[in-house]
Every structure is written in C-alpha cells, then in structure tokens.
Amino acid sequence: MGDKVKMTIPDFKKFKEEGRKFAYCTAYDYTTATIVDESDVEIILVGDSLSMIMLGNKTTVGVTVDTMIHHIKPVVKGAPHTFIVGDMPFGSYNVSKEQAIMTANRILMETNCDCVKLEGGVEMADMIAAMVKAGIPVMGHIGLTPQTATSIGGFKVQGGTPESAAKLIEDAKALEAAGVFSMVLECVPSVVGKAVSEALSIPVLGIGAGPDVDCQVLVTQDMLDMYGDFKPKFVKHFAHVRKEMVDGLNLFHKETVEGTFPSKEYCFNKAVDIPKLY
Ligand code: KIV
C-alpha cells in the first residue's frame, strides 16, 4: 500500500497500446472498497449486480438510481487510489438522450465516481454519442447484458454463431465510434473475445470472454468464494472467504458458549469499587 497510482481515462487507451493487462472487480460498500484499494486491482465497478449480491434479488432489474448512488458514495470514500465505475441501472437511460444525460449527471455529481457504465450495442450508439458530447465519460457493456437478459434468452453465452459474433463486432465498433473509452464484453466464446479486442483501439474488459481481451473483470464475491453455491463457468475462486468467515463465526460461538471469550486481553481491567446497589 502507498504506491498505487489511480488509473485515468487516457491510461485506458495507453494500456491497450502498450499491451498492458489490468484487472477490474466489484465493490458495493466502504469496507470492501478499502480492501480493493489496498490491492493492485486497478478498477472497481459498483455494479447493478448489487441487486443480487447485496440485496438478495433474482435479477438486476429493479435497482433504482437512488440505490446505486447510496452504494457508490461509500465506495468512492473507501478507494481513493482506484478508478471507480458507477453502473446505470435499468430504466434510467432507456427513455431518451435527455434522461440518460440527466441520470449520468446525477450519478457523477452526487457520488464523484469516475465514469458511468451502461448496457447495449448499436441501438445505444446515438444516445452514448450524446452523453459523450455532454462531457460524460461512458464505459460500454455488450455481449450478455444482464438488464435485458430476458430478451436475449436468459443468462447464456452470446456470439456463438458467425452471425451473432459479427453482430457483436458491429456493436463494439458502434460503441467505440460513439465515444466510449472502454467496454465490458460479457460471456462470449474466447475467439469472439479475441476478435472484438483486435477490432478496437480501446480496451475490452472481459468477463467470461477468454484470455485474449485487455482486462479481466469478476464480481468480487464470486472470485473470493463468498456468494454461496452458485458459480458460473468463467469464475475462478482465488480464495475461500466464505469458509474463512463461517469458521471464524463458529470459533466466536464456541468460545462464547465455553466462556473462554473474552479473556483478560479483551477486557477493560481497571479496578473500580462498585457501590453495593444490588
Ligand atoms: O453489474 C455488474 O457486476 C456487471 C459486471 C457483470 C460486469 O455489470
């Protein structure tokens, strides 16, 4: 800790040009943000995945802008050395360019995060161009787009046919032309990840998109094995934090019922003459 330098938007393109890979994970609260900030991970997403991970919902739809702002603010406080992305939730940018600009303005101004992220391909390009023209830094998100998962047939691998792979490349190019400075590419065959990355001069941030993209993204609770039994194929467990936490809680319970906790070192041991009032 101490020498981490916060990534800037020009760095995204620079890293791509230099072939320098970087890493991106989620955080939805202050404590987790401080932990990521202490690590080497360059980017935090306060994603609308908080709907499932933090709030116990089945999908990301239903999270409001107020809820996103509520979670982005403590993450910004906890991670001053990490680039922070605020996700725009479903329904907060699909009405009009004005709505999208106003929502993004609110997220940026009320939280002080570094950019917003939104989902969608070619169909969103005009709207994104308007946002960028208004001075908003925008990160795209194509491939499996959880907010519209129902319309694309559920949480499934995308780009699995030549036609759908070509469509993804078209989406990616349209977003780059519209002015996004990077884009998430979710759940596609590795060859598609490689092709999309090669087609662009901005970084492709892959989650389940294989090794040949510019950055790897994972949900922190997934990769640290905190979230329970659900594990998508693309998630590797880099630690087993859930087990560590359950073991710690059980030890606390055991020492409490046995009476070995708190021992003297955890007590205020000053002698006090207690008046006999009982
Ligand atoms: O909300 C989220 O966590 C995301 C990731 C899946 C990239 O959008």
Domain ranges of the chain: 9-240
Q: Are strands 22-26 and 43-46 parallel, antiparallel or unpaired?
A: parallel
88 ligand 1 Cβ < 6 A = no
Q: Look at residues 213, 205, 212, 209 and name the one whose alpha carbon lies nearest to residue 232.
A: 209
Say what the pLDDT of residue 142 is: 98
pLDDT > 60? residue 155? yes
**What pLDDT band is residue 173 in, cutting at 50, 70 and 90?**
very high
pLDDT > 70? residue 2? no
Distance 20 CA to ligand 1 centre (A): 22
pLDDT > 90? residue 7? yes
Counting atoms of ligand 1 from 1, which one is nearest the CA of 47?
1
Percent of residues, the chain, with pLDDT higher than 70? 99
Say what the pLDDT of residue 199 is: 98
pTM of the model: 0.96
119 noted as active-site residue: no
Q: Give mean pLDDT, residues 150-164.
A: 90
Distance 225 CA to ligand 1 centre (A): 17
Measured in degrees and rounded to the nearest 5, phi and psi for residue 92 equal -100, 0
45 ligand 1 Cβ < 6 A = yes
What is the C-alpha separation between 193 and 165, in angstroms, rounded?
A: 9
Distance 5 CA to ligand 1 centre (A): 24
Say what the pLDDT of residue 152 is: 79
Are 189 and 157 spatial neighbours (Cβ–Cβ below 8 Å)?
A: yes
The yes/no answer on whether domain 9-240 falls in CATH 3.20.20.60 is: yes
